[in-house]
Amino acid sequence: MNSFSSFLILMVACICTTRAFVSYRGYKAYEVTPTTDRQYRELAIWRNLDGVDFWRFYAKGMASTVMIEPKLVAKFERFLEFTNMTSKVVLDDVEDALEQDRQSRSEYRKTISNGSVDFTTDPNFNIYWSSDQMETYSRSLAQRFPNRVQFEVIGRSAQNRILYALKISNGGFGNKPLIFIEGGCHAREWVSQATVMYLIHRLVEDPVASNELLENADWIITPNLNPDGYEFSRTNNRLWRQNRRQVNPNCVGVDLNRNFAFSWRTATVACGSQTFSGPSPFSEPESHAINDLMSRYRQNIKIYLTVHSFGDMVLFPWGFQGSPGLIGNHEYHHQVGLLWRNAIQAQTGKVYAVGNVAQLLGNAFGASDDHMAGNQNVNLVYTLELSRGGLTGFDFPESQIGNLVRETFHGYRAIGLHIGRNY
């Protein structure tokens, strides 16, 4: 074979691997509840395997949700039986569930105005936006409200999309306590960007909200940290979690929330696994960019929130294994976490769990929350797990996200008022 034909074959292989639609036909999802330390340890081993995807991994005594690829199903079921683990099948065929969610989304889209939506002057918060729409809207805010919003490019993704932050203030950005919010770290967790874009809208365009929330604090927000992954989850693989960098010829994607420097480890997680931590800390342009941004402003930053789904949880450090137990200001973290919970509960009756990552979720290495607390010394650091929706939990129905973004705003508002009044 000459080198040109090898090149052609390679090109076709690349196009196929990057363009193909990924089906989850025959994949099963289980809820599994380890009740002893031994069961918990044994279940945790499955976390590191290819073909196993924990949608939620909780501490002992709580029901975790895990998806298993077809060729591992029999082995996994034998494992459940052998360990006598409490479990049930929640989705018999994950592709059926995704198909139903796609179907209801397309039915819903027919019921709403399909006229050309102008995202600059009439943002529609009842649908999921594309990365382009988020960027267009963000840039338009900076143009229309130059005294309130600065659009700053902070890097480029592996596929050359712009990574950006919005700096929001009522003038003179940088003189007040700063609130840092990061959305869209994990590709499939679509409600993250939806709630953060709505927050931005209220902060900038709603006079009442901007008066009270910008009076004593500035905000720095990266609404869509992982645009490559997000777009891939919209078009090719609904359950994609990572970024889209080609790490080596056989493997694409790093879990950005395992790529931060604090307690970073390659552990035993191989490239190809959903929680692959990357070849080195900050090897990924997205985690690198956000850490840079944090370093530049950390003197003023009083709180960092990273927004994920799902689980209705307000989590705070530590999460890494071998951690010294509770973080120094554990009680204060808990109190401020309750502000979020109470604000949402007052709106909806929904109750968020508030607590330390290791206690509620178990250990994670190289996560952004431990890094921002442990290396960047940010006083308050949270990982929010927003509400589940749809059959998998990641497909919060578009017909209800308008309500979700509004209810979540009350949580952001409660935190914002606290920072403004206390620093």
Name the residues that contact Zn ion, by CB under 5 A: 186, 189, 308
**CA dist., res. 37 & res. 61, Å (int):** 10
Residue of 231, 385, 398, 407 marked catalytic:
385
Which CB, 98 or 191, lies closer to Zn ion? 191
Would you call the peptide bond into 320 cis, given omega within 30 degrees of 0 as the criterion? no
Give CA–CA dist 289/282, Å, rounded: 9
Instruction: Report the distance separating Cα 57 and Cα 34, nearest Å.
Output: 11
Q: Least CB distance from residue 257 to Zn ion, whole Å?
A: 6
| Closest to Zn ion by CB, 182 or 407 | 182
Backbone φ/ψ region at 364: left (φ over 0), alpha (ψ -120 to 50), beta? beta
Nearer to Zn ion, 288 or 308 (CB): 308
Which one, 214 or 290, has the nearer CB to Zn ion?
A: 290
Preceding omega of 340 cis (within 30 degrees of 0): no
**Least distance (Å) from Zn ion to the CB of residue 124?**
25
CA–CA distance, 380 with 369 (Å, rounded to integer): 9
How far apart CA 251 and CA 246 sit, in angstroms, is 6
Name the residue among 399, 410, 417 with its Cα closest to residue 348: 410
Task: Provide the minimum distance between the beta carbon of 255 and Zn ion in the complex, in angstroms, as a whole number.
Answer: 9
Shortest separation between residue 313's beta carbon and Zn ion, angstroms:
11
The nearer residue to Zn ion, 28 or 186, going by C-beta atoms, is 186
Taking a C-beta distance cutoff of 8 angstroms, is the pair 316, 337 a contact?
Answer: yes
> What does the DSSP 8-state code read for residue 78?
H
CB of residue 261 vs Zn ion: minimum separation in angstroms?
Answer: 19
The vertex-413 CA angle with 362 and 127, nearest 5°, equals: 80
CB nearer Zn ion, residue 258 or residue 308: 308
Task: Name every residue whose Cβ is closer than 8 Å to that of residue 396 and which is 6 or more positions away in sequence.
Answer: 190, 191, 309, 310, 387, 388, 389, 390, 404
Q: Which is nearer to Zn ion, 217 or 313 (CB)?
A: 313
Q: How far is the CB of 247 from Zn ion (least distance, A)?
A: 19
Using DSSP bridges, classify how beta strands 380-386 and 313-316 pair: parallel, antiparallel or unpaired: antiparallel
Which of 354, 346, 343 minimizes the C-alpha distance to 410? 343
Nearest residue to Zn ion, scored by beta-carbon proximity: 308
Helix (H, G, I), strand (E, B) or coil at 326: coil
User: At CA 314, angle to CA 49 and CA 419, rounded to 5?
Assistant: 135
Shortest Å distance, C-beta 185 to Zn ion = 6
**Nearest distance from C-beta of residue 123 to Zn ion, angstroms:** 24
- The helix (H) or strand (E) run that includes residue 18 is helix 3-19
Pick between residue 47 and residue 186 the one whose CB is nearest to Zn ion. Answer: 186
385 assigned to active site: yes
For residues 186 and 288, which CB has a smaller minimum distance to Zn ion in the complex?
186
Q: How far apart are CA 93 and CA 95, in angstroms?
A: 6
Packing angle between helix 398-422 and helix 94-111, nearest 10 degrees?
Answer: 90
Q: Cα–Cα distance between 358 and 51 in angstroms, integer?
A: 24
In the complex, minimum distance from the CB of residue 50 to Zn ion, in angstroms, rounded to a whole number: 19
Using CA atoms, how far apart are residues 202 and 209, in angstroms rounded to an integer? 6
Which residues form the catalytic set?
Answer: 385
